[in-house]
Amino acid sequence: MLRIDQVNPTLDTSFETTFTWDYSRTRDGLNRLYEKAKDAQWNASTHLDWSTDVDPEREAVAAAERAGLPVGWQARALAAAEGSPLATWGDEEFLRFAVESQKATLSQFLHGEQGALVCTSRLVESVPWIEAKYYASTQVVDEARHVEVFARYLDEKLGGTYPLNSSLNALLSDVLTDERWDIVYLGMQVVIEGLALSAFGSMRASTTEPLLADLLRYVMADEARHVAFGILSLQEYYEGLTADEIRERQEFCWAAVQHMRRRSVTPELWEGFGVDPDWVLDTLTRHGDGRRFQAMLFSKIVPNCKKLGLLDAGDGWLRERFTEIGIIGFEDGDTGVEDLTGV
Ligand SMILES: [Fe+2]
Ligand SMILES: [Fe+2]
């Protein structure tokens, strides 16, 4: 595992900066989204009550009670597996795990938000349509605000941040070093943001801490627009691509989903407890609850790939891959962007 000061903060990239001299606004969906985004701005300093007292241990106990499960239930499920390194854990370890798990998850949200900030500024430069440049500029401000709130919450309320996860690092590098502007959209706006919406939603459903619940509610309202932006832009663009080009996009989606599956076990958290993350991934994949939880994270990515025509293009290659890992059942699910995209 790389420490955060070992992750190279610079990337060598090459992409085209595109001007457009056509200022007419003919894309209704993107225009509506841009108008919405201007009305929906909020100030993280004043809209959230930062004076809220947060006790991470108390919150871990309350969240478990709310779910009707014992504290550290995610780890308890693994303790029962054959030859489990968690077999000797007691209540103290499970509580510490629950507290650290929350911190590790929020830390990856933070780093992912910085990735989104950088990706979106790239979109302003590279996308060829004026409506998309307008909209993307509002998303740059949104993502800066998301970095701000997660960084502040981790620093002031949880007392620290975990390093960037190597899988998220690999995916961000893939997305940002690609020369094709639509890959930035696909990787960030559809895969990473789609996964983030599911992950924020499940944390919001479990937390009883009012500041975190408010913060997530505000962030999620922004993120739904971001996913809609990806869908609206890519639907139009993908209609004009060749079969080979579409296949490259399918393969990119699959590779991105694989990165995100590994990310979802938060290896940096397990390493801190002396547990091999590969054992965790392997055990979760075989264990019923773990499999269901992992699958839930992809509940928005699968239907969004379908909306873009990527699921069934060619010989249905991506459908087969999603079927193999048990996530195809989400293909017709509600992704929360339908009223924003009209599809
Ligand atoms: Fe964000
Ligand atoms: Fe976003």
**Domain 35-40+53-341 is of which CATH architecture?**
Orthogonal Bundle (1.10)
Asked whether the predicted pLDDT for residue 343 surpasses 60, the reply is: no
Q: What pLDDT does 56 receive?
A: 96
Question: What percentage of the chain reaches a pLDDT higher than 90?
Answer: 65
In which band, very low, low, confident or very high, does the pLDDT at 310 lie, cut at 50, 70 and 90?
very high
DSSP at 264: T
Residues 6+ apart with CB under 8 A from 226: 116, 139, 142, 189, 193
Give 191-225 pLDDT, tens digit per residue.
Answer: 888 888 888 998 999 999 999 999 999 999 999 89
Residue written as token pair 């393969």: 251
Residues with CB under 5 A from ligand 2 (ion): 116, 193, 223, 226
Rounded distance from Cα 339 to ligand 1 centre (Å):
19
pTM attached to this predicted model: 0.92
Three-state SS at 50? coil
Q: Report helix angle 130-153 to 91-126, nearest 10.
A: 160
Ligand nearest to the CA of residue 37, numbered in listed order: 2
In one-letter notation, the amino acid at residue 201 is: G
Query: Whole-angstrom Cα distance, residue 278 to residue 234?
Result: 35
Q: Which pair of structure tokens corresponds to residue 248?
A: 């490259």
Residues 6+ apart with CB under 8 A from 121: 140
Q: What pLDDT does 2 receive?
A: 40
DSSP at 4: G
Ligand nearest to the CA of residue 226, numbered in listed order: 2
Give 133-175 pLDDT, tens digit per residue.
Answer: 999 999 999 999 999 999 999 999 999 999 998 888 888 898 9
Q: What pLDDT does 1 receive?
A: 39
Q: Which pair of structure tokens corresponds to residue 149?
A: 């709130």
Rounded distance from Cα 300 to ligand 2 centre (Å):
14
Query: Which stretches within the chain are classed as H helix?
Result: 28-39, 44-47, 56-67, 73-79, 91-126, 130-153, 166-177, 181-184, 193-206, 210-238, 243-263, 267-272, 277-286, 288-296, 301-307, 317-324, 338-341
Q: What pLDDT does 300 receive?
A: 87
Ligand nearest to the CA of residue 145, numbered in listed order: 1
Q: What pLDDT does 3 receive?
A: 47
Q: Report helix angle 210-238 to 193-206, nearest 10.
A: 160
Rounded distance from Cα 211 to ligand 1 centre (Å):
17
Domain ranges (residues) in the chain: 35-40+53-341
Give 98-117 pLDDT, tens digit per residue.
Answer: 999 999 999 999 999 999 99
Q: What pLDDT does 100 receive?
A: 96
Average pLDDT, the chain: 90
Q: Which pair of structure tokens corresponds to residue 301?
A: 């990515």
Q: What pLDDT does 196 receive?
A: 87
Give 10-21 pLDDT, tens digit per residue.
Answer: 888 888 899 999
Give 244-264 pLDDT, tens digit per residue.
Answer: 999 999 999 999 888 888 777
Residue with the bigger pLDDT between 58 and 299: it is 58
Rounded distance from Cα 79 to ligand 2 centre (Å):
35
In which band, very low, low, confident or very high, does the pLDDT at 342 lie, cut at 50, 70 and 90?
low
In which band, very low, low, confident or very high, does the pLDDT at 34 lie, cut at 50, 70 and 90?
very high
Q: Give one DSSP letter per residue of 158-180, joined into a string.
A: I---PPPPHHHHHHHHHHHH-S-
Question: What percentage of the chain reaches a pLDDT higher than 70?
Answer: 94
Asked whether the predicted pLDDT for residue 318 surpasses 50, the reply is: yes
